[in-house]
Structures are given as structure tokens and as C-alpha cells.
Amino acid sequence: MVNETQHTCSASSSSRSDGGSSSGSESSKDNSRCSTPVLDADRHERLREKMRRRQDAGDKWFSLEFFPPRTANAAVNLISRFDRMGAGGPLFIDVTWHPAGDPGSDKETSSMIIANTAVNYCGLETILHMTCCNQTKDDITRHLQKAKRLGLKNIMALRGDPSGEEWEEEVDGFNYAVDLVKHIRNEFDDYFDICVAGYPKGHPEAESYEADLRHLKEKVFAGADFIITQLFFRPETFLKFMKDCQAIGITCPIIPGIFPIQGYHSLRQLVKLSKLEVPQEIKDVIEPIKDNDAAIRNYGVELAVSMCRELLDSGMVHGLHFYTLNREVATTEVLKRLGIWKEDPRRPLPWAVSAHPKRRVEDVRPIFWASRPKSYIYRTQEWDDFPNGRWGNSSSPAFGELKDYYLFYLKSKSPREELLKMWGEELTSEESVFEVFTCYITGEPNRNGYKVTCMPWNDDPLATETNLLKEQLEKVNRRGILTINSQPNINGKPSTDPIVGWGPSGGYVFQKAYLEFFTSSEIVTALLKVLKKYELRVNYHIVNVKGQNITNAPDLQPNAVTWGIFPGREIIQPTVVDPVSFLSWKDEAFALWIEQWAKLYEEESPSRMIIQYIHDNYYLVNLVDNDFPLENCLWQVVEDTFELLN
Amino acid sequence: MVNETQHTCSASSSSRSDGGSSSGSESSKDNSRCSTPVLDADRHERLREKMRRRQDAGDKWFSLEFFPPRTANAAVNLISRFDRMGAGGPLFIDVTWHPAGDPGSDKETSSMIIANTAVNYCGLETILHMTCCNQTKDDITRHLQKAKRLGLKNIMALRGDPSGEEWEEEVDGFNYAVDLVKHIRNEFDDYFDICVAGYPKGHPEAESYEADLRHLKEKVFAGADFIITQLFFRPETFLKFMKDCQAIGITCPIIPGIFPIQGYHSLRQLVKLSKLEVPQEIKDVIEPIKDNDAAIRNYGVELAVSMCRELLDSGMVHGLHFYTLNREVATTEVLKRLGIWKEDPRRPLPWAVSAHPKRRVEDVRPIFWASRPKSYIYRTQEWDDFPNGRWGNSSSPAFGELKDYYLFYLKSKSPREELLKMWGEELTSEESVFEVFTCYITGEPNRNGYKVTCMPWNDDPLATETNLLKEQLEKVNRRGILTINSQPNINGKPSTDPIVGWGPSGGYVFQKAYLEFFTSSEIVTALLKVLKKYELRVNYHIVNVKGQNITNAPDLQPNAVTWGIFPGREIIQPTVVDPVSFLSWKDEAFALWIEQWAKLYEEESPSRMIIQYIHDNYYLVNLVDNDFPLENCLWQVVEDTFELLN
């Protein structure tokens, strides 16, 4: 929005349509499967309600603005940034709309797809910007329909930049943001929450500050739910603007847009685009240090913190909107210093909940995708019926095909050269593969001095929770039990536990120990003998790439491996070992050997043939120790297996 | 069946219809709500499959035959007997059909209603006898349809007694049991499991033993699934019969009918009806002791035990069918001595599962009806959708009306005089009511020397589990906290625990502490103040007869108070405190004061007015302590309340 412009408009204001809300009926439509207790009211509210609730509770909040990147690689990085900055607890993020960048397309870099990723895969409440000038009604409607289909619920309605130097009204076209607001309300009733832009100094093209205020009021009365402002440099600018808005009857939330100065260049460019004037006192500080990026950023952070403090202290401001310029450090720093960056170790569920309205009732998932949650969401995106995660019943919809995992943001974030350094330029034996797994677990550099920070089955370094098992994991990986997923047993830790806790406070969380690994058929033969001794205690599934499947699971029933007990709620069991979905996961897990690892090497090369051999001959094994109150016996199972082999 | 007779028949045998089984498709029809893990394969099998599975596993089993009683009071007693004898683990019970007693009617004493009660309310696999002679096809079909509607799945197909002395075939009528078997298969396909009668000595009216065997074969080939035999006095009689059956190609299970001699009279009457001859060696023993009932019964038990042992030792017999004559002692004694009476403290769920095919997926119930499970089943009998027990969602069907609780077998089993002795001939104050509650808890006699063995809200003496809380319960009842339901907290006891265990072995069961009571508004006022201190820990619902309702339950969500974790299964949470159903329970709980207690006294009498006062002014309270791993705080809550009052 930083570089948005807007013209005055004379369209008459129309009052907001509130009747026959289709989204209202949607949210009250109860699922006949009532096993999902509402864990988090948040998940069921629309953005404007969340805002109101936070304000009523006296909570301060923040939001983050991003623009779509230019390249697919940059998109992958931006999505990682969403995950990292999402951890700080923004109330929402928003994604700008660049008409030149084909913003409504299916390209990896389009506004639409970036916003889609934020809401569905990162679980972030997301506002999609949309501009209307130089576009047909049909185009706009198509974009809005697509946004709705993708699960987007909030639109920032903007005019957009005129195509020529001079602004000319189009007959029957969308000439002003207010036209877009009206169009959205006409065509989509109350489905979307609508945000509009406010200009604390007045829009540069407006006849006057007062005229601009009147236009803002028109946008609000046409159906906008809240206002985000253009950036400004002095807190009093915003506070005056806010009072002026209130004076003419604008009562909806007005969120100040904060721009932490991050560099001399970006500031100059911004000023040029927004036609804002930088106050002399700021220029005086910046000019002398204009070549010292660090100094400017430090100053920018100081300035932003002090301005935000003043805004919050005024009692008029409840939320702050940050223009991040897709950067992380300065904004995070400001938020942390303000104390509103809230990295809450308490997750509502052990896995990230998608923010798609269709998926908000989802309350159980198979454990197999724990390290590939985006793949899971992608492959189940066509499902109508959540909660799911159980494939054993006839109502289960089709599971997305394996080819879907080529989804761009599931591709490894590291380039080929880096992966080769981590996973080995040249593999000489199966043992060199064992070493890679071991280094990933230990965090120690490999024999060439490189740390293994990701694996084909794990995009990220080892989870904190898995760290609890590090010592044992190292031992077994060295010997060819190639672990890709595990969790310790937990017997009733508080739901607020910083490592294993999740869900509302006052509860208790539990886990059954779980271990999943690839291993050779020789080890599987010994393992099966050992497992006879543990028949009543350990459930296992053992499968190879051809689908040969050995299990002692009763009747293909799921085994709950993570559950929580909370005050005044039904039991929540968000993670299961589901025998049927394991066979879908198996396809994905085996394919990753080839797609992500083997293909790094030349065809017919020894390295590639080693990975191919493992793919063709190893088994994928999962083990659950059902006796969660006792000491985890899975290590003993593995120990016994090695002993039998010796 | 003891007094059944049967004629020879020449109808040609027809092979069993196995195609297009409607029940087959019914049992495979998956419920879209897949939260019910199959705990007990038993619940999903039909009787003939259970028989086969027990035989394959080498398990010995028994079954029990009862006849419908003559009076409503006797019916109530018989149903208690079902509950007690059901505890020993019969594979099924069967209820005889008496054409003279209007057996298909809705009378409390009809065969149909007694069988209905056994299957639905006592959770017993049940066979309903049905005779066909002197009845029209339409009558028979109507009976069968009704049986199906009530959830009965098994029919014993019999001819029945001819109306005159001499047997005459009716044209187009049902003349033989085989006609009934064919009719059931024609009209109901494979829905029912069908049992037919076998005569080890040949039917008294048959041309010959061999001819009778051929008729039996016809019944089996017409679609019968198994055979129960007429009683006999020597094991070799049965074993020869069985070999003869096998020799002519009868391969279905043949279950010997065992008649433990219980008295001289009943034996004589039986012999007369069945036209059997009592062997001389038995007569020789009995005649000299014919006036000594105890001696005869002891002898009868001895004889039955030794005969059963011989049958079981032969390896040809897997199950024994007992003609109980509606008596308990002799049969139970025989079964215990044989070691096949298996009082298994491990329940599949904490409450008795109804054997109705529609309800077999039911896996959760509100805790409120814990002491009135039959009322719960009755009031939910029209529901299509199980598991339920949660009323908060729009799909919940209507709950049966309160008037339903006048159901005959929910009426107190004790006559008015006895109740007055227990609950007080004359009440002088609310405190005399407190005393009644206290005596029920302690098991001590009341001031008139009578023990209080039941209460309007509890048909039976205190549950073993409640005994764990006895001391505290006594204390609070004395002071006017009139408890009607409670459970201790349990933090992961083995599922095999003899007191609180349930479900398959290898699991762990949990409970949140629960306390439900009536109390005065004065105590409620203090209680509410105390509960503020426990706001985050204790959930409460407090309601009076007018429906004034005070609660801190979030969003009317159910609170799971009993759950179990089992190997290879999802979590099972069979008991919940459901805020919505609590209001239905409230109506029932308050009504019981008047219907069962106040009405014992004259109108306008002081005793009646005291109960009426309590009904009109007291509150019904339930409390849940969510912190199940800690010491139950509910007693402290009550203690604090009393302290505040002092």
C-alpha cells in the first residue's frame, strides 16, 4: 500500500449490506461429526471480530505487510519468512497487488498464490490487496471468486495506479476504491472483510485534507470494515487524523501504518512514490549517515519504537501495521522492543492449523507428515470433510496424488550445490548414507566440514522435541536405522510445557513414543523376530516401495499417539498413526529418495545407484510404544534387534 | 422350549438363501462419524459368527433360557435377574413364546417386551422364540417385523402346541417349524439368525428317531443356523444324537439343552409335558428325598455338573444351553462349578452397552444417567445417530419425553411399604431427608432399623467405585449436600483394574472427579462464592426445577470425564458432562422427588410437603475437577462452602 495512490471521488455513499449473510450461515453450519471441541475461538472468528475482541480485551496486536517476490526462489524464501514471522503472532498479514505482475494468476510469484500460501500453508490470517482501475468488472469478479475459492476471507480494496500520468475517469469502470468496495458487497454480500486505505496527511491527489476524509467516510459507509493508513513520520499526524475521522462519524478501527526506516535508498524511493515529505528532523539525522546502513537501520528502529510507544500510550491505538518491505530484522526488532512480538510456545494443536475456513474444524492428522505439513495440506486440499486424518472409513475422499508434492514451496530451499555439500558429492556405500542421517541428528559437520541442516524428509533442522531423543537417535542412525520421524512418550505434562505443550492452559498433554525409519531387509528380518516379544505393547507397520506391508495393527484402525485433556472439553487427539494413510505416505517418503536425493547425481553414477538401491530394497518402518506411562521401549526393541544381528 | 412339541413334516428342503444379504450390507455400512474405535469385535458380530469364533478359539460358553413372567412385578424381578445372570457372561439368552400370553403384544409380560428389554436394556444377545401353528402368515410377519424393529436379531423357530388333542394340518397354514424357517428366510432374507429345536430321543410325535432326524435336516437346510436340543438325562443320549446328525449331513452347531433338576414337582411336570422318560437311576435317588427340596437341588446340581463335564470332555460340545425355569441358584452353581461362569470385571465400556444393532456404535453417554442407564436407553431409543451423548450440535435428535420414565422396569422394584421403611414413614424436616441420603451412603440402618438399599435416583446399592468416596460422601450428605452421583479421579490405572477398569487389556483408564447433588439455595449461594477461587479448575452447572441455570462451562461444550487409552486405538471417551443434556436430566432428577418419594405420602401431609419443598426450592449441582492428576479438590470446595456458612 506504500505506493498506492487514490483519487477523490464523488460517488454517493451507500450503507453497508448486512442482511442474509452467507458467511454467517456457513460459520454456524455445524458439522455432524461433533468430535471437534472448539479449542480456540480465534479459529472461528472473522478478522473484524478478532480485532474487536482484542480491542475489548485490551490486547495490543500487530500486522505485517509483504509484497509478492519476483522469482520462485524468492517466493520460497518469503514463505519461510511467513513461518518465522508468523511465530511472533501477527493478527494478520497482507499481500500487495501488482497489476504488472499478473497478480491473479497461478504463477508462484503472483499475489494470489502468495496469499493462498500464507492462509492455507502457513495458517496466517491474510488480507489480499486488490486494485480496480484499468480492470473490467468481470476481471475483478473472477479474482474475487478465485480468492474465495482459495480460502481468502479479507480484501484490501484499492484504486490502484492510473496507467498514464494524468488520471482520467472511465465510464462504467471502476474509478475509485469505493466502487470496488460496493462491488464486493454487491457480488459477495458479507463474505469478505474489507479493508480500505486512509491518508493521515490526506491523499496527495485529493482536493483537500477534509475532502479526503469525506471520501474515506464514503468507503467505510459503502461497506469497509476497517482502515489501514499510509505511513507517516510523526505520531501526532496519526492521532490528529484519527480524531478527525471520529469527528465526521468514522467509527471502525483505524490501524496506523508503521514504516521502520531500513535504509537511505528505500526511504528515498518511498518518498518519491508516496509523495510524502520527510520531516526535517529526520533528514538531519539521516543525511550524515546515509552510507552507513547499520546506523540508519538502528535509527529507524529507535524512531519506530518511540513512535509506536506514543501511539499505544495514547489509548487510541490497539494495533500496529508494519510495512516490512519483505524484510525481517527491523520489524521484528521493533516488535520485540515494544513487547508485542509474542512467540507463544503454546500451539493450539501440535501442528500448524490452516487458516482456510473449510479446514478450521480439522482436528486430527496422521503423524507421518509431521515434518512436511505443507505437503499434507496440499494433498488434502480437495477434501470437503474435516476433521479427517482417518482413512479407514468409506467417507474418506480421495487423497491428492503424489505428483502434487512437486509444489514449488515444497522443493528444497537449498540449491543443488549446497545439498551436495550436505548429503555428499560422492557416495561410496550405504554407510555414507548412514553418515548423512547421523550428522543431521547430531548437528556435527560431516566429513567435508558441512553441517546437514535439512533432509529430503525434513525441511528444517531437528525439532526441539526430537532433540530429547538425540543421543539414542544418533546411535541407531549410525547402524542403519535411518530415522525420519519420532516423538518421545509423554505422560501428562502441563499443556503450557514450552517443548511438548499445546492447546489452552490448564490442560495435560500425552504422547505415545513413536519412531519411523528406513532400514534394510536384513534388519527388518531381525526386527520382526524381536517384535514378537513386544507383540502386546508395540504396534508396527513395515512396508517396502512395492507396498509389501507387515503390520500387527488391529483392523486398520488409527492409533492415537498425541492427545490432550483440557478443562471443560472433550478429549483432543490431534495426531494418529493411521494404517491406511501410511501407504500414501510411503509413496511420498520413498519418492523423496529419488526426487530430492538421487537426482542430484548423474544417471548411472555410483552415488545415484546407491540411493536407488536403498529406494528399491529398504523398508519404511513405524513403531508405536502403547505403554506411554512406562519408559519408552522402542530403543530396547532396536537394541535387541542389533544384538540379534551380531 | 422345554414344553414344545413338534410334528413330522414332509415339506421338501430348500437351500439357504445367502445372496443379497441386507444385514450384511448394514453391518458394513460405515458411519461417517468415524470416532468410534471398534473396542469389541463381539458387538459387531451376529450370533452365528460369535458361536463360530468361540468354537474356533476353543472357548466354552453357555446360554440361558427364560420364560415370560405372569405379572408386571415378576417381570421387574426377571429383569434384575437378567442383569445378575448377564454378569456371568452368557453367549445369549432366549425367551420362550406363549401363545396364550399374547406374546407379541406390548404388555409388560409379553415375550416380545421381555426379549426387547433383554437386548436393549440389559445388553444381552437374545433369541426370541416364535411358534407358528394356529397363526396366520400376516400375524407371523407382523411379529417378525416388530422383533426386527425392536433390535432383535435371532429367532427360535418352533411349531408350537396344537390347539386340540390331535394334530391336524391346516391348509395353507404354518404346520411345521420348517414352514416358519422358510417364511423368515423368504420375508427377511438373511436378517435373522435362526435356531431350531432338536430332539435327542426323537420327537415324541415323530414316526421314528430316523424320521425325526430327517425333519431336523430339512429345518437346517431351509435356513436354520444352529440347533438347541430338548433336555435329556444322559450324556450319551446327546453324543449319539450329535453323531447321527453329522452322519446325515447336519453340520451346523448343535447345543445340548441342560436341565438341572431343581425340585420334584417341576421335574414331574416337565416329564409330563415333554413326554420324556426319567431314567430309573435318577428316579431311585429322587423318590426317597422328594420332600427335601434342598437335597433334590443339590443332587440336580451334581448330576448336571457331571453330565456337562462329560459333554465338554467329549470335545464335541462347545456350548451348553440351560433351562433355568427363571431360577438363578442351581444354574449359576452348575456354571460356577464348571468354571464357565465368567464374571469379568472388565467391562467393554464403563456403562452397559445395549445389544441393539443400531446402538452398537454408541460410544459416549452423559454421566447423569449413570445410575439410571435403562432410562437413558429408553429416552434415546428413537435416535438414529449413535454415538451421541452430545446435545450441543444441530444434528441431535429429539430427546425422549420425561413421561417415558414411567417405563415399568424403571419403577422401583420395592413395594410402597418397603420404601416407606427405608425413606421414612414420616418426615419431620429437611434433616430427616438428609438422614435418608446418609444411610444410603453408609449402609447403616436408619433410626427405625431399616437399611436404605435404594434411592429414587439409584435403583441399586452404592457402586463399588462410589465406595471409594464413602467417607467424604457421608460427611457432606449429613450437612445437606444430597449426593446422587459421583466418581473419583483416576490418573491412568490399568484397564484391567477390577474396580475402575474397562475396555481391552493393555490400556489405561482415566477419570476426572465428579460430584452431583441436590442442595439448598443457601448452600448454593456460599458455594458460588467459593467456586470463584476454583474458577480455572472446577467446571460447574447449577440449576433449579424452573431451569435457572448457572454455569462456567465454555460454549456449552461437553467435558469428557472418563476416557481410556488402548494399544493401537483412538482415544475412547465414553462419559461426558454434557451441558445441554444436563437440562433434560434435571427434569428427570427433580421429577423423581415427586414421583418416587413425595407420592408415597398422603396429599397435604407434612412428609409430602417437605419433599415438595425440596423439589421446589433446592438446586441440582454438578462439579467437575479438571485437574485429574492432582488430589480431588471437590471435597475442599464443599468444605470451604460449609466454612463460609459457619
A602-621 pLDDT tens trace: 999 999 999 999 999 999 99
Query: Between A505 and A258, whose confidence is greater?
Result: A258
What residue in A sits closest to B34 (Cα-Cα)? A393
- Which residues on neighbouring strands pair with residue A540, listed in sequence order? A623
List pLDDT tens digits, range A459-476: 777 777 777 788 999 999
Residues of chain A contacting residue B392, judged by C-beta atoms under 8 Å apart = 34
Do residues A327 and A380 both lie within one domain? no
Q: Does A624 touch chain B (CB under 8 A)?
A: yes
- Residue B77: is its pLDDT beyond 90? no
Which residues does chain A have within 8 Å of residue B31's beta carbon, measured at their own beta carbons? Answer: 393
- Cβ distance of A557 and B394 shorter than 8 Å: no
Per-residue confidence (pLDDT) for residue A7, from 0 to 100: 35
Cα–Cα distance measured from residue B143 to residue B82, given in angstroms and rounded to the nearest whole number: 23
| Domain contains B6 | no
Q: What is the mean pLDDT of chain B?
A: 85
Distance CA B143, CA A27 (A): 47
Q: Percentage of chain A with pLDDT > 90?
A: 59
Q: Percentage of chain B with pLDDT > 90?
A: 59
Q: Which of A391, A561, A570 to mutate to test the interface with B (most CBs of B within 10 A)?
A: A570
DSSP class of A596: I
Among A564, A568, A569, CA closest to A508: A564
The answer to whether A646 contacts chain B (CB < 8 Å) is no
The CA-atom distances, in angstroms, between B409 and each of A362, A469, B595 are 43, 58, 15
How do beta strands B572-577 and B559-565 pair?
antiparallel
Tens-digit pLDDT profile for residues A490-525: 999 999 898 889 988 899 999 999 999 999 999 999
β-bridge pairing A508-511 and A549-551: unpaired
Question: A100: exposed, middle or buried (C-beta count within 10 Å: 0-12, 13-18, 19+)?
Answer: exposed
**What is the predicted pLDDT for the residue at B5?**
35
Does some domain include residue A7?
A: no
What distance in Å separates the CA atoms of residue B456 and residue B435, rounded to the nearest whole number? 15
On whether both B316 and B424 belong to a single domain, the answer is: no
CA distance B27 to chain A (A): 13
- Are A301 and A184 within one domain? yes
Decide if A524 contacts A621 (C-beta within 8 A): yes
Q: Count of A–B CB contacts within 8 Å?
A: 127
CB atoms inside a 10 Å sphere around CB A431: 12
- Asked whether residue A271 is domain-assigned, the answer is no
Q: Verify whether residue A65 is a known catalytic residue.
A: yes
Where does A275-360 have alpha helices with state H? 280-286, 293-313, 329-338
DSSP-derived pairing of the beta strands B226-231 and B193-198: parallel
Which one-letter amino acid corresponds to residue A558? P
Q: With an 8 Å Cβ cutoff, are B33 and A38 in contact?
A: no
Picking from B560, B567, B570, the nearest residue to A570 by CB comes out as: B560
Residue B24 lies in a domain: no
pLDDT tens digits along B218-257 = 999 999 999 999 999 999 999 999 999 999 999 999 999 9
CB-based contact, A38 to chain B, within 8 Å: yes
Q: Are A155 and A228 in contact (CB under 8 A)?
A: no
Say yes or no: B109 and B237 in one domain: yes
Model pLDDT, residue B401: 63
What number of CA atoms fall less than 13 Å from residue A232's CA on the CB side? 25
| Residue contact A563–B571, C-beta within 8 A | yes
Q: Which of A375, A450, A445 is nearest to A408 (CA)?
A: A375
Assigned C-alpha cell, A179: 466502487
Q: How many CB atoms lie within 10 A of CB B87?
A: 15
Which of A503, A497, A632 is closest to A563 using CA atoms? A503
Q: Please say whether the beta carbons of B318 and B60 come within 8 A.
A: yes
pTM: 0.78
**A558 inside 8 A of chain B by CB:** yes
Nearest to B559 among A510, A568, A626 (CB): A568
Alpha helices in A456-573 (DSSP H): 464-467, 470-478, 521-533
User: Is the Cβ pair B571, A571 closer than 8 Å?
Assistant: yes
Closest partner CB to B32 (pick from A33, A558, A569): A33
Beta strands per DSSP E along B330-480: 365-366
Q: Do A393 and B557 touch (CB under 8 A)?
A: no
Closest alpha carbon to B220 in B16, B52, B24: B16
Q: Please indicate if any CB of chain B lies within 8 Å of the CB of A575.
A: no
* CB-based contact, A34 to chain B, within 8 Å: yes
From chain A, the residues in CB contact with B34 under 8 A are 33, 390, 392-393, 395
Does one domain contain both A419 and A502?
yes
Q: A578 vs chain B: nearest CA distance in angstroms? A: 10
Residue scoring higher pLDDT (A535 or A165): A535
Are residues A278 and A271 in contact, defined by beta-carbon separation less than 8 angstroms? yes
Residue B266 touches chain A, beta carbons under 8 Å: no
Q: Cβ contacts of residue A381 below 8 Å, gap of 6+?
A: A120, A400
Residue A15: per-residue pLDDT:
36
Mean pLDDT confidence for B382-406 = 55
Q: Is B394 a residue whose pLDDT tops 60? A: no
Q: Strands B513-519 and B508-511, how do they pair?
A: unpaired
Q: Identify the three-state secondary structure at position A405.
A: helix
B580 in A contact zone (CB under 8 Å)? no
pLDDT at B173 over 60: yes
pLDDT digits (tens, 9 = 90+) for A348-370: 787 877 777 777 777 788 888 88
Alpha-carbon distance of B466 to B469, in angstroms, equals 5
Do B487 and B549 lie in a common domain?
Answer: yes
For residues A366 and A578, is the Cβ–Cβ distance under 8 A? yes
- For residue B241, what are the domain limits? 48-163+171-263+293-338
Where does the pLDDT of residue A409 fall: very low under 50, low under 70, confident under 90, or very high at 90 and above?
low
| CATH number, domain with residue B159 | 3.20.20.220
CA-to-CA distance for A206 and A290, rounded, in angstroms?
32
Number of domains chain A contains = 2
Unique residue bearing C-alpha cell 494404517: A579
Closest CB to A570 among B33, B510, B576: B576
Rounded mean pLDDT, B115-139: 91
Does B126 lie in the same domain as B65?
A: yes
Please indicate, yes or no, whether residues A244 and A138 belong to a single structural domain of this protein: yes
Cell of A334: 521493533
* Cβ neighbours of residue A237 closer than 8 Å, sequence gap 6 or more: A200, A201
So what's the ipTM on this one? Answer: 0.75
**Per the domain annotation, does A302 fall within a domain?**
yes
Check CB contact under 8 Å for B567 and A31: no
- Which of B394, B491, B506 is the closest to A30 by Cβ? B394
The verdict on A318 and A372 lying in the same domain is no
Set of chain B residues whose Cβ sits within 8 Å of the Cβ of A510: 565
With contacts defined as CB-CB under 8 Å, which chain B residues touch A536? 506, 567
SS3 label, residue B305: helix
Which residues on chain B are in Cβ contact (under 8 Å) with A558? Answer: 37, 569-570
A425 and A449 in contact (C-beta within 8 Å)?
no
Within a domain: A275: no
**Cβ–Cβ below 8 Å for A537 and B567:** yes
pLDDT tens digits, A529-538: 999 999 889 9
| Inter-chain CB proximity A563 and B565 less than 8 Å | yes
Nearest to B568 among A394, A506, A539 (CB): A539
Q: pLDDT digits over B416-463, tens only?
A: 899 999 999 999 999 999 999 999 999 999 999 999 998 999 877 777
Phi and psi dihedrals of B629, rounded to 5? -80, -15
- Strand ranges (DSSP E) for B555-618? 559-565, 572-577
| Residue B351 is assigned to a structural domain of this protein | no
Residue A257 has what pLDDT?
96
Identify whether residues B299 and B435 lie together within a single domain.
no
Burial of B363 (0-12, 13-18, 19+ CB in 10 A): buried
**How far from A153 is each of A24, A89, A183, B213, B551, CA to CA, in Å?**
13, 19, 15, 76, 34
* Same-domain status, B399 and B301: no
- CB-nearest to B33 from A32, A557, A626 is A32
C-beta of residue A414 within 8 angstroms of C-beta of residue A456:
no
Per-residue model confidence as pLDDT tens digits over A2-14: 443 333 333 333 3
Q: What is the pLDDT of residue A411?
A: 63
SS3 state of residue A22: helix
Interface touch B626/A567, C-beta < 8 Å: yes
Comparing CA positions, the residue from B391, B308, B269 lying closest to residue B63 is: B308
Name the active-site residue from B4, B65, B516, B588.
B65
Claim to verify: residue B373 and residue B225 sit in the same structural domain: no
| Residue of A4, A26, A45, A65 marked catalytic | A65
Determine the Cα–Cα distance for residues B90 and B93; give it in Å rounded to an integer.
Answer: 7
Residues 389-428 of B with CB under 8 A from A: 390, 392-395
pLDDT band at A73 (very low <50, low <70, confident <90, very high): confident
Among left, alpha and beta (phi > 0; psi -120 to 50; other), residue A604 is: left
Q: Report phi then psi at B551, rounded to 5.
A: -150, 155
Q: Cα(A111)–Cα(A197) distance, rounded to whole angstroms?
A: 18
B630 contact residues in A (CB cutoff 8 A): none
Q: A26-44: per-residue pLDDT in tens?
A: 322 232 223 444 445 555 6
pLDDT score of B277: 87
- Single out the residue of B535, B539, B496, B491 nearest to residue B514, CA to CA: B539
**Contact state of A33 with B30 under an 8 Å Cβ cutoff:** no
pLDDT category of residue A634 using cuts at 50, 70 and 90: very high
Confidence band, pLDDT 50/70/90 cuts, at residue B469: confident
Residues in chain B: 646
Give the HSE-up count for residue B330: Cα atoms under 13 Å, Cβ half-sphere. Answer: 25
Length of chain A: 646
The whole-angstrom separation of Cα A488 and Cα A471 is 12
pLDDT score of A164: 55
Q: Give pLDDT tens digits for B347-379.
A: 778 787 777 777 776 778 888 888 888 888 887
* In-domain check, residue A273: no
pLDDT at A402 (0 to 100): 63
Q: How far is CA A449 from CA A419, A436, B24, in A?
A: 13, 12, 64
A442: how many CB neighbours lie within 10 A of its CB? 18
Are the CB atoms for A537 and A627 separated by under 8 Å? yes
Of residues A34, A539, A563, nearest to B392 (C-beta): A34
| A-chain residues near B554 (CB < 8 A) | 38, 568-569
